[in-house]
């Protein structure tokens, strides 16, 4: 990568790093895993930057890399790690938001990823299917199952909103 290209990539990373970390946190449910995911995606993007910057949406490319890498990780692991005690929360904005994020973090990774891409990133079902490399019907079923699980879990904790 020549100096001018490296400078453009550096400017891109500086401008979009915080947004990519937020996206990664929602995908993984963990800020530390999100930082690793962002670093991995940016490293891969940096290697292909001369080609990527010619595309209309380099940030979309990075987000797609992040989603694909996250899926690759959960395909390898196939299981989520359950803990007896949730990690200590340093800052709480709204109890209802914490409940939503907490419940979202308990969903299987595929359901969580579909819901994040659909409702946080506002992608269509067809776009999600393309990004994740799955059938559109799978996107619909995973979203339906995820929403049902969210409703059931949040219904149990509804007293937090009253």
The per-residue b/e assignment along 104-130, b for 16 or more CB within 10 angstroms, e otherwise, is: beebbbbbbbbbbbbeebebebebbbe
Region of poorest pLDDT, from 67-71, 85-89, 111-115, 157-161: 157-161
Tell whether 86 is covered by a domain: no
Tell whether 84 is covered by a domain: no
Residues 110 and 146 in one domain: yes
> Which residues span the domain enclosing 102?
91-162
List phi, psi (to 5°) of 153.
-70, -40
Q: What is the mean pLDDT of the chain?
A: 83
Ramachandran class of 59: left when φ > 0, alpha when ψ lies in -120 to 50, beta otherwise: alpha
- Region 135-149: mean pLDDT is 93
- Region 152-161: mean pLDDT is 64
Bigger pLDDT: 159 vs 38: 38
This prediction has a pTM of 0.52
Tens-place pLDDT, residues 100-114 = 778 888 899 899 999
Of 50, 79, 108, which marks where a domain is finished? 79
Q: Looking at residue 102, what DSSP letter applies?
A: H
Of 79, 103, 121, which marks where a domain is finished? 79
């Amino acid at each position: 990568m020549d100096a001018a290209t490296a400078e453009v990539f550096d400017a891109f990373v500086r401008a979009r790093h915080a947004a990519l970390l937020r996206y990664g946190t929602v995908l993984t449910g963990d800020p530390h895993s999100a930082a690793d995911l962002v670093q991995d995606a940016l490293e891969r993007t940096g290697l292909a930057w001369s080609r990527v910057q010619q595309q209309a949406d380099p940030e979309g490319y990075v987000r797609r890399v992040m989603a694909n890498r996250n899926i690759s990780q959960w395909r390898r692991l196939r299981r989520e790690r359950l803990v007896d005690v949730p990690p200590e929360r340093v800052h709480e904005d709204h109890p209802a938001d914490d409940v939503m994020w907490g419940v979202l973090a308990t969903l299987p990774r595929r359901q969580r990823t579909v819901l994040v891409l659909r409702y946080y990133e506002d992608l269509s079902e067809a776009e999600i299917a393309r990004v994740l490399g799955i059938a559109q019907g799978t996107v619909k079923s995973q979203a339906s199952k995820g929403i049902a699980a969210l409703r059931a879990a949040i219904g149990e904790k509804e007293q937090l909103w009253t």
